């Protein structure tokens, strides 16, 4: 914990560190971590679970045709299942998935995971972390990912955790995988409008559970002014320093 305070105290980096067994906050360097803010693609797993609950816990296959198709990536991701879609955080896949998710389906999920609900006038894109109509407090989000892991044996959850493992191996969270020498991690990244001073166009977010096989910690990181995949480099450095 001291290593984080010593080496990652810059204003551009915010972090929360939780004990994965107890959920207790071990370290916090995040101003107003209880205040709801947009967290970008970190919401995708919960929208996916709302979809799954209404569809017999079967996830669809969609084809991403790139930016023309509403993805953040110019080059198409191609045909994706839920595991790959979580791994590369494909907006095109989740746009399609979110089209059929209603607030009646989402509410039980936000309640179960103790997350704030989106505003009443939310749209499909808000459910995949675009815009600012679904704000969640960072500390609740970190705990929701821990709860997600605890529910690993429940229907629809295994696929999401497999996507987070793949994210750290070769998806948007690959920088975490590269940084860890002795273990793997479960990672989800996100990019959202910046909500703190000084203003930047966007902030990168990462939630990482490590080690992947039996998580001991949950690390949530926000890096000012970068995308989620870039923020994963910072999260990777933090986790590798704690691994030593
Ligand atoms: Zn895509």
pLDDT per residue rounded down to tens, the chain (244 residues): 788 888 888 889 999 999 999 999 999 999 999 999 999 999 999 999 999 999 999 999 999 999 988 899 999 999 999 999 999 999 999 999 999 899 999 999 999 999 999 999 999 999 999 999 999 999 999 999 999 999 999 999 999 999 999 999 999 999 999 999 999 999 999 999 999 888 888 999 999 999 999 999 999 999 999 999 999 999 999 999 998 7
CA 42 / ligand 1 centre spacing (Å): 16
CA 111 / ligand 1 centre spacing (Å): 29
Domain at 2-243, CATH from 3.40.710.10, 3.30.565.10, 3.40.30.10, 1.10.3720.10: 3.40.710.10
CA 199 / ligand 1 centre spacing (Å): 28
Write out the residues surrounding ion ligand 1, Cβ under 5 A: 64, 71, 77, 90, 92
Q: State how far the Cα of 16 lies from the Cα of 206, in Å rounded to an integer.
A: 11
Give Cα separations from 173 to 14, 37, 206 (angstroms): 17, 21, 8
Q: State how far the Cα of 181 lies from the Cα of 166, in Å rounded to an integer.
A: 16
Q: Are strands 186-193 and 62-64 parallel, antiparallel or unpaired?
A: unpaired
pTM of the model: 0.96
Three-class SS state of 71: coil
| 7 close to 241: Cβ distance less than 8 angstroms | yes
């Amino acid at each position: 914990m001291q290593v984080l305070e010593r080496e990652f105290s810059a204003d551009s980096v915010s972090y929360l560190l939780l004990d994965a067994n107890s959920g207790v906050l071990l370290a916090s360097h995040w101003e107003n971590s209880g205040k709801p803010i947009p967290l970008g693609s970190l919401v995708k797993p919960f929208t996916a679970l709302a979809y799954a609950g209404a569809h017999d816990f079967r996830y669809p296959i969609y084809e991403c045709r790139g930016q023309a198709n509403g993805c953040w990536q110019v080059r198409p991701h191609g045909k994706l299942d839920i595991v790959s879609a979580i791994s590369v955080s494909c907006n095109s896949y989740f746009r399609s998935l979110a089209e059929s998710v209603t607030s009646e389906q989402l509410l039980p999920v936000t309640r179960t995971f103790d997350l704030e609900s989106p505003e009443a006038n939310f749209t499909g894109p808000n459910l995949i972390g675009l815009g600012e109509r679904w704000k969640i407090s960072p500390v609740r989000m970190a705990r929701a990912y821990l709860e997600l892991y605890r529910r690993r044996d429940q229907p629809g959850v295994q696929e999401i955790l497999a996507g987070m493992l793949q994210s750290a191996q070769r998806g948007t969270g690959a920088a975490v995988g590269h940084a860890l020498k002795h273990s793997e991690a479960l990672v989800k990244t996100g990019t959202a409008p910046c909500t703190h001073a000084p203003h930047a166009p966007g902030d990168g977010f990462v939630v990482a559970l490590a080690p992947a096989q039996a998580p001991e910690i949950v690390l949530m990181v926000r890096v000012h002014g970068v995308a989620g995949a870039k923020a994963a480099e910072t999260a990777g450095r933090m986790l590798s320093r704690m691994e030593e």
